[in-house]
Amino acid sequence: MRKNRVWLVFLGCMFFYGALMGVQYNCSGVLISGIMSAEGYSSSSLSGFFTLRNTFQAVAMLFTAQFLRRYDIRLVSFAAGAASAASLLLMVLYHSPRMWLLSGFLAGMGNSLSMLLPTSVINAWFTKRKGTFLGFVTMLSGVLGMLLNPVVSHYIRVHGWRSAAVLLGCLSLGLHLLASLLLAKRPEDVGAEPYGGFDPEIKLSDVRTNTRLLDGGITLHELKVYLFILLSVSMTSKGIQMASYIPQYSTSLGYPLEVGGRLTSAIMIGNFSAKFLFGIICDWLGAWRSTQVFLAIIGLSFFLLSAFGGVIPVMYLACVLLGFSYMSGLALSMVAVELFDREHFETQFSRNSMFSTLVTIPLPYLISKVFDMTGSFRLIFLTFAFLLWLGILLISLRHRLGISGKSPSEPG
C-alpha cells in the first residue's frame, strides 16, 4: 500500500483542484449568467460576487502557507472545500444581489489554496517530472468544466438556477471529501517513498542569493521576489476572469445562453489541453521558455475575440486559446519552483499570489462598468492582450538582471 501511496495522493490532488477550479470556479460564469437572465440583474449588480471572491482569496493567501505547515493537510483541504461548496449551496436562499457577497467571501476563502496545496504536495511527492504530473492534476478542472458547463446551462433552463447551484455544491463537497481522505503532505509523514526516489535537497539559490548586487542595492533573492511579483501581476487571472464573462459576451452579440455554455466548454478544452501540454513542455524546455510561448497564445486569443467577435468559428478557436490562460497558476508555480528552494517556496508563492490577486480585485467591477458603458468587451480584450505580452518582455529581461532560475531540467 505504501508503494502505491504516491498515486493515491496524486488522485487526491486531482480531486481537490478539480472541485475548486473545475466545479466552483469554472462553472460560475454560466451560473451567474443564468441568475442574471432569470432575475433581471445587471452585470455590475452581481460583480460584487467576483470582487469579494478575489478580495478574500487574496487576504486568505497571507495565511495559507502557515496553515499548511501547522495543521494536518486533510483538515486544511476539507475546510477549504467546505467553504467552496457552501458558497454554492447557500445561493438557494438568496433573493437580492447583496446576498451573493456571502458566497463571494466563502468562495474566496476556499480558492486561496487552489494552487498552493497541490503544488506543495506534488513538489514533495515527485522528485522527477514535476511539471508533467502537476499538469495532469490541474487538467482535471478543465475536463470538469468542459463537461459540466453545457449540462449546467441546460439544467438552468429546465430546472432553474437554484437547482443547478445545489447540484454543483453537492458535487464539489463530494470531491473534497474524497480528496481529504487521500492527501498526505510529505511521503516521510506516512512512511512512503516519492516518485523518483528521495533526492538531496537542491537549492536553486546559490551563495550569491544574499549578496548585494550593488553597494547599498538589493540582493539577488530580493530581485527574484520583485520579478516574480511583476510576472504574477502581468499574467495572473486575466484570462480566467474573462472566461467567466464569455456567456455574457456571446449574449451581447445576440446569441442564446446555450452558445455561451458551448463557448465556455471550448475554453475548458483549451484549459485541460494547455495544462497537459505545459507540464510536458515545462519538463523539456523549462518553465521560463514554456511560459513565454503560452503567454503569446493567450494574448492572441484576446486579439481574436476583439477583432472577430460575431464570427462563430473564430470565436470557438479564440475560446480554445483563451483556455490556455488557466495554466497561468501552473506556470507561476513552476517558475517559483525554479526561483526558490523548498524552504522558501510556499511562503513566496502564497505571498506573491496574494499580491497578484489583490490587483485583480477591481477587475470584475471595471469589466462590468466598461461593458455597461460601451456594450462591448473590445477595449478590455485589447488591454489584457497588452498586459500578457508585457509578461513575455519581463521574462526576456531576466538574464540581464542576473536571474537564471536554472534547474537541472532546463537546457542551457
Where are the domains positioned within the chain? 5-186+206-396
pLDDT digits (tens, 9 = 90+) for 115-135: 788 888 888 888 787 778 887
| Residue 2, pLDDT above cutoff 70 | no
- Write down the pLDDT at residue 123: 82
pLDDT digits (tens, 9 = 90+) for 68-113: 888 888 888 899 889 989 988 888 888 777 777 888 889 888 888 8
pLDDT digits (tens, 9 = 90+) for 278-289: 778 877 877 778
pTM for the full model?
0.68
pLDDT digits (tens, 9 = 90+) for 141-152: 777 877 888 888
- Write down the pLDDT at residue 401: 57
When the pLDDT of each residue in the chain is averaged and rounded to a whole number, the result is: 77
Q: Of 236, 197, 174, which is closest to residue 22 (Cα–Cα)?
A: 174
Contacts of 243 (CB under 8 A, 6+ apart): 26, 29, 264, 267, 322, 323, 325, 326
CATH assignment of 5-186+206-396, given 3.40.50.300, 3.30.465.10, 1.20.1250.20, 1.25.40.10?
A: 1.20.1250.20
What confidence tier does 317 reach under pLDDT thresholds 50, 70, 90? very high
Q: What is the mean pLDDT of residues 18-22?
A: 86
Side-chain-facing half-sphere of 85: CA atoms under 13 Å: 19
- Write down the pLDDT at residue 239: 55
Q: Of 255, 387, 280, which is closest to residue 330 (Cα–Cα)?
A: 280
pLDDT digits (tens, 9 = 90+) for 44-70: 777 777 778 878 887 887 787 788 888
